[in-house]
Amino acid sequence: MATVSKKRTHRIAGARLKKSSHFAKKVASRAGRFLKKSGHSIKPLGIQLNREESLVVAEALVHPPAPNQVLINAFHAYKQAVAA
Amino acid sequence: MTAYLFERYAAHHERADFDCGVEILNRYLRERARQDDDRDAARLWIMVETPLSSKIAGYYTLCTTSVNLDGLPPDFQKRIPRYPSVPAFLIGRLARDLSFKGTGKLLLMDAIQRCVRQSNEIAGALIAVDAKDEGAVQFYTRFGFRPLSERRLFLPMATARSLIVS
């Protein structure tokens, strides 16, 4: 991922950052569009997990737990509600 | 038992009257949900009591995302797909109107069922949810969702699939 300095981001947008937050958002939006067009991305897409969180997900994917009773009961209630 | 229908958002649905008690979710439905749906950023599903009813009992949004795993030990890497990110479905927002108490689980079950159905055509290894507050975290935890990060939880697709097919 390319890092772009604040100064350069604003130069890309063709405007200086002003006090107005509305204007700041407009500048950021224009800079974002430029970066997107040029093949860069401002932030990584998707959900980024650290090592501990990744382990929890991997464990659940390898050994998926059976649905708990609350989930089973809720699904029965749902089936009745949509079939009624 | 009251019957409910789930349908795509349409112009006759009255968004202004919806009140789930959480302003950020009310405002999202009023101001951004339709735009997100139009722009394919999130699909908006509405729960109503009767066909063509304008009163929204509840809503949820669905989209796809990816979960980037980091630093997994080699034994895990052998048993899950060898990609840095795992595809997933995301229930971004879910809310029911205050006058339809007890229907949150129906919204969640419809969302889960829809994800399982879609997973036959588009791969998704897990269903992630964004909980807006601590109450929402507890709501999802009761159904077996596990913490993913601070306010995100997940249910493995295999668990959801075994629920639907059982």
Single-letter amino acid code for the residue at B135:
G
Q: Write down the pLDDT at residue B46.
A: 96
Query: Out of A46, A77, A81, whose CB is closest to B66?
Result: A46
Cβ-based burial of A19 (10 A; exposed 0-12, middle 13-18, buried ≥19): exposed
Provide ipTM, 2 decimals. Answer: 0.88
Cβ of B143 and A68 within 8 Å? yes
Q: What's the token pair of residue A41?
A: 């991305």
A82: which 2 tokens?
Answer: 């949509």
The one-letter code for the residue type at B26 is N
Asked if residue B60 lies in contact with residue B91, where contact means CB atoms within 8 angstroms, the answer is: yes
Provide the mean pLDDT of chain B.
91
B148: nearest CB among A51, A57, A77:
A57
CB of A41 within 8 A of CB of B72? no
Contacts of B163 in chain A (CB under 8 A): 67, 71-72, 75
- Which has more pLDDT, A17 or A54? A54
* Interchain CB distance below 8 Å, B144 and A47: no
Rounded mean pLDDT, A42-52: 73
Range from A38-42, B1-5, B64-68, B148-152 that averages highest in pLDDT: B64-68
Please indicate whether residue B2 or residue A54 has the higher confidence score (pLDDT).
Answer: A54
Higher-confidence position of B63 and B72: B63
3-state DSSP percent of chain B in helix, strand and coil, to 5: 35, 30, 35
pLDDT of residue A40: 54
Report residue B85's pLDDT band, with 50, 70 and 90 as the boundaries. confident
* More reliable by pLDDT, B1 or B94: B94
**pLDDT > 60? residue B124:** yes
Within 10 angstroms of residue A34's Cβ, the number of other Cβ atoms is 15
A59: pLDDT strictly greater than 50 = yes
Mean pLDDT of chain A: 73
**Could you tell me whether strands B152-156 and B126-130 are parallel, antiparallel, or unpaired per DSSP bridges?**
antiparallel
**How would you classify residue A26: left for phi > 0, otherwise alpha for psi between -120 and 50, otherwise beta?**
alpha
pTM summary value: 0.79
* Chain B residues closer than 8 Å to A48 by CB: 68, 70
Phi, psi of B80 (to 5 degrees): -120, 160
Q: Residue A81: which residues within 8 A CB-CB, separation 6 or more? A: B1, B2, B3, B4, B106
How far apart (Å, rounded) are the C-alpha atoms in residues B53 and B46?
11
Instruction: Say yes or no for a CB contact (<8 Å) between A47 and B1.
Output: no
- Of B67, B57, B122, B114, give the one whose Cα is nearest residue B91: B114
What pLDDT score does B83 carry? 73
Q: Which of B8-12, B114-118, B146-150 has the lowest mean pLDDT?
A: B146-150
Asked if A67 and B88 come within 8 Å (Cβ–Cβ), the reply is: no
| pLDDT at residue B149 in the model | 82
Which of chain B's residues have a Cβ under 8 Å away from the Cβ of A65? 144, 156, 159
Q: DSSP H helical segments within chain B, as ranges?
A: 23-27, 33-38, 74-79, 104-118, 134-142, 157-165
Q: Which residues of B touch A60 (CB under 8 A)?
A: 126, 146, 154, 156
Report pLDDT for B151: 86
- Residues paired with residue B67 on neighbouring β-strands, in sequence order: A47, B86
**Residue count (chain B):** 166
Q: Is the pLDDT of residue A18 over 50?
A: no
Nearest to A78 among B106, B149, B152 (CB): B106
Provide the pLDDT for residue B109.
Answer: 97
Q: What is the mean predicted confidence (pLDDT) over B119-131?
A: 93
Q: B143 and B155 in contact (C-beta within 8 Å)? A: yes
- Closest CA of chain B from A7, distance in Å: 30
